[in-house]
Amino acid sequence: MLKLDSRDPGFQEAWARVCARGSDEDEAPVREAAATIVADVRARGDLALLEHTRRHDAWDPGSAAGLALGPADFAAAYRGLPAAARRALSLAARRIADFHRRETDARVPARRDAAGATLSQVVRPLERVGLYVPGGTARYPSSVLMTAVPARVAGVREIVVTSPGVKGSGEMDRWTLAACHVAGVARLFKVGGAQAVAALAYGTATVPAVDKICGPGNAYVAAAKRLVFGRVDIDMIAGPSEILVLADAAADPAEVASDLLAQAEHDVRAVSVLVTPSAALARAALAAVERQLADLPRREIAGRSIEERGAVVVTRGLSEAVRLADAFAPEHLALHARGAAGLVKRISRAGAVFVGSSTPEAVGDYLAGPSHVLPTAGTARFASPLSVATFRRRMSVLDLTPAALAALAPSVEALARAEGLEGHWRAVEVRVAKRASARARRVAPAKAKAAGASGAPRARAAAGGARR
C-alpha cells in the first residue's frame, strides 16, 4: 500500500499519480477486441451472439430463444427464495423507489414573456432502456434494483436486462432473476460482454434495440459502450470501484479498515484510499486492515487491491485532508470525522458521501435509496449518479404570437446576418411580412370607409351652399 505524507517534498507528484487512476484496463487490445465483436453482432445478429456466448461463456444456448427469460421465470425465482430474501429484495426496491420519486426534474413551467412568447421545457421518459448487469462468476441483484427501479420510476415503457449466465452452464442466478421480478424488468437475455452491448445498441431478431444502455461492466463492456455511443445514449463509462475514507484522530480504526476492504474485495483493480491528519490513526487503520484480511473470504482479491492500488495519506490538518478528498473526486467518500455532517458543504466532487460512522458505504450499495451506480476514476468532477433523470429527456416548447415574432424580428435579422445565414432571416421575414400585409389589407377598407364618412358631410354642405 502506498504511504504518503503531504509534508514530503515529492508529495504533489505522487498524489497526482494517485488521482490519475482510472480504467486503464481499456487499452488498445481490449478496444480492438471489443470493436471486432461489436461489428460482428451488428452484421450477423443472433448468430454472432450465439457464437460469442459459446466462445466466451463456454455454454451453448442451442438457439437464440435459449438466451431469453421473461416475467414467468422472474416470478418463479422470486417464489423460490427464502422469505427473508424476498423481504430484503422488496425492502431495497421500495427504498430505492421512494428516494427516486422525490427527484425534481428539470422542467421549466410555461410562461408568457413580455414579448408575447410562451416558452417551457417538458420532460419525457425514454421508450426502452437496456441494463447491463455483471454476472458469470458473481451475482449482483443489487445492480438490477439500482438501475431498473429508477428507470421504472422515470416512466420507461420497457426495461430489458443483459447479464451473462454462469460460465460453463449458462444458468442464471435466482437472486438476479428475483430482482428482475421485484423491479419490473420485461425480459432478461443471458448475454454478456461487448456482444451484449452491441445487441442492445443495434438490435437482433431476439434482442430489441434500446434508446440507452446503463450499468457497470468489465473493460470490454466499457470499450463497447464507447463504441456504440451516438447510436444510443449511455450512462457513463464505469471503471473499477473506489472509495476515499477521510478520517480524523477520533475515528475507529476497525471501521475505517472495514470500509477500505469493502471496496477492495470487489476487484483487484479497486481503489481504496485513506486520507487523515493523524499518523497514529493511519497506522492503526493499516494494522486493522491486516487483521480483517486474515479471515476475509475474498482476501486474495482484497489483498492485491490494497497492496497494488491502495494508498494512505497523512496530511497537515483536516482542512488539507478535505481539499485532497475533493481533488480526488471519489466514487464513494466516507467521512469518519467529528462534525462529519458539517464537512459536506465543503465537498463538491464525489459520487456519494457517507456521513459519520453509522453510515457504512455497504448500506448504500444495497438499500439506502440512492442508486449505487456512480461516476468513477475522477469523473465525479463532471458526472452524476444514475437517477430518474438518466432515463428521461428534456424537450423545449416554443409558442410565439405573431406580435411576439414581429417584436423579436429585428434582433433575429441582426444575428442571422452576422452569422451569414440569410435563410434564417428570410424564414422570419416571410412571416412578419405576411402578417404586415394581412394587417394592411384589414386596415385599408376601414380607412377608406372612414374617409368616405368624413367626406360626405362636406360634400352635402357644399351642395347645400350651391343651392342657396
Q: What is the pLDDT of residue 454?
A: 61
Helix, strand, coil percentages in the chain from 3-state DSSP, rounded to 5: 55, 15, 30
Q: Supply the pLDDT for residue 25.
A: 53
What is 29-49 written as a DSSP string?
Answer: HHHHHHHHHHHHHHHHTHHHH
56 is in an annotated binding site: no
- 419 among annotated binding-site residues: yes
pLDDT of 438: 84
- The answer to whether 78 and 241 have CB atoms below 8 angstroms apart is no
Burial state string for 251-264 with b = 16 or more CB within 10 A and e = fewer than 16: bebebbbbbbbbbb
The residue annotated as part of the active site, out of 242, 255, 265, 331, is 331
Q: Which long-range contacts (CB under 8 A, 24 or more apart) does 61-68 make?
A: 61/170, 61/190, 64/204, 64/205, 64/206, 65/206, 66/170, 66/190, 67/189, 67/190, 67/191, 67/206, 67/207, 68/187, 68/188, 68/189, 68/190, 68/206
266 annotated binding-site participant = yes
Handedness of CA 411, 413, 419, 421 (dihedral sign): positive
Residue 216: phi, psi to the nearest 5? -80, 160
Per the annotation, does 292 bind a ligand? no
Q: How far apart are CA 367 and CA 13, in angstroms?
A: 38
181 is catalytic: no
Residues in Cβ contact with 212 at an 8 Å cutoff, skipping those fewer than 6 apart: 126, 129, 130, 232, 233, 234, 235, 390, 391
Please say if 51 is a catalytic residue. Answer: no
The answer to the question of whether 140 is labelled as a binding residue is: no
Four-way CATH pick for 28-238: 3.40.50.300, 3.40.50.1980, 3.40.190.10, 3.40.50.1820? 3.40.50.1980
Q: What are phi and psi of 357, to 5 degrees?
A: -70, -15
Contact 169, 410 (CB under 8 A): no
Cell of residue 195, nine digits: 456482444
Q: Which fold has domain 2-22+240-369?
A: Rossmann fold (3.40.50)
Please state the domain extents for the chain: 2-22+240-369, 28-238, 401-446
pLDDT at 463: 47
Of 175, 170, 190, 157, give the one whose Cα is nearest residue 70: 190
Give the three cell numbers for residue 81: 427464495
Cβ–Cβ under 8 Å, residues 332 and 351: yes
Walk along the chain (468 residues) in steps of 10 and give the mean pLDDT of each run.
Answer: 95 94 70 96 97 94 96 98 97 97 91 95 97 86 97 98 93 96 98 97 98 94 96 93 97 98 94 98 98 97 96 98 97 97 96 97 96 95 96 96 95 97 97 89 71 57 46
Q: Which three cell numbers stand for residue 336?
A: 469518519
Catalytic residue among 52, 56, 100, 332: 332
The model's pTM: 0.89
Question: Which amino acid type is present at position 140?
Answer: Y
Domains 2-22+240-369 and 28-238 share a fold: yes
